[in-house]
Amino acid sequence: MKKPLLLFALLIGMVSMNAQTKEELQAQKAEKQAIADAAQAEANALQGKIDALPGWRKGAFGTIGGSLSNFNNWYAQGAPNNASGNIGITINAFANLIEDKFFWRNSLTSNLNWVKLDNKDTNADSEDFNPTTDVFNISSLYGRNITKNLAVSGLAEYRTTLLDNFNDPGYLDVGVGATWTPIENLIVVIHPLNYNFVFADSNSVFESSLGAKIVADYTRQIGAINFKTNLSAFQSYKSGDFSNWTWSNSFGYTLWKMIGVGFDFGLRSNKQEALNYALGQFDPLAVPAQTEPNFDNVDNDLQTYYTLGLSYKF
């Protein structure tokens, strides 16, 4: 009888020792974590001082999204034998020179997407990946500081497509005015003197004009999160039909090393592009007769895109 009691007491003691050891380890972990948090706070403060020093700031992050599928004898769908795919790539990059008396900010944004749908039972469709989303934007902003948060500036910004109809249309904004930086990482450009050069094969629709340029850009990294939002708008002094704006947004969250998840979406309004597309769909011989599109009757629907997939921080 004594032996079972002794074993039971020994078991209770071992459980008690294990419980104490776990509590001690948790206390040690909390102590080490507190030290690590304090060290990280000091490192962040030092990085903030480094970022405030004059010189170049460079960075880039992007998103890669894609899917591939193949069906054979899948009779439940309209095309039982088909192959499809979707590939999307987004790149956001910047190179900024920040000095005490001036700055030079350069940025590039590109969003490219290809789609493939191959019906193996017919030769009428394409087996190639065809471009869908096609966005390219590059800008360069130079400014001389008047005060800490205000500068006289000049901006050159070019927007077009790369995969299809390169430079048709293409937009080049060149102007001067002021740049305001109310908070860190936020850039607001207001250029009341700006000329919007439009390059296109169809001169009857696209027209260059003088107007005002407004750009707002916020780019920041917080821990594992990278995000960028940019609004670029042109207001034509000649006609509201020649005005346009684009709002693009990119988010990236790093999960492991340099790899994470990314989400990009954009909005655009451009009546010249809407009319150019409508004229391409117009059939003068259609029955019943169609009304030829013009700036007064065209539907300038909001243009949108988004990409969701894996992200890679360069």
Averaged in consecutive runs of 10 residues, what is the pLDDT profile of the chain (314 residues)? 59 55 79 83 72 80 80 80 85 91 94 85 80 90 95 97 88 97 93 96 85 95 87 96 94 84 90 91 86 92 86 66
CATH assignment of 61-313, among 3.30.160, 2.40.230, 2.40.50, 1.20.272: 2.40.230
Q: How far is CA 24 from the centre of its chain?
A: 47
* E strand segments, the chain: 55-71, 82-98, 102-119, 130-145, 150-160, 170-180, 186-199, 209-222, 225-236, 244-256, 259-270, 303-313
Among candidates 251, 246, 143, which has minimal Cα distance to 189? 143
Rounded Cα–Cα distance for residues 128 and 141 (Å): 39
Of residues 246, 242, 220, the one with CA closest to residue 233: 246
**pLDDT of 237:** 97
For 139-197, the pLDDT digits (tens) are 999 999 999 999 999 999 999 999 888 898 899 999 999 999 999 889 999 999 999 99
Residue 24: per-residue pLDDT: 76
What residues does each domain of the chain span? 1-53, 61-313
> pTM to 2 decimals?
0.78
Q: Output the pLDDT for position 4.
A: 62
Residue in 225, 251, 267, 256 with CA at minimum distance from that of residue 308: 251
Q: Where are the alpha helices (DSSP H) in the chain?
A: 2-52, 271-281
Return the pLDDT at 314: 60
User: Are the CB atoms for 135 and 161 separated by under 8 Å?
Assistant: yes
> What pLDDT shows up at residue 288?
86
pLDDT at 303: 93
Closest alpha carbon to 159 in 89, 245, 88, 227: 245
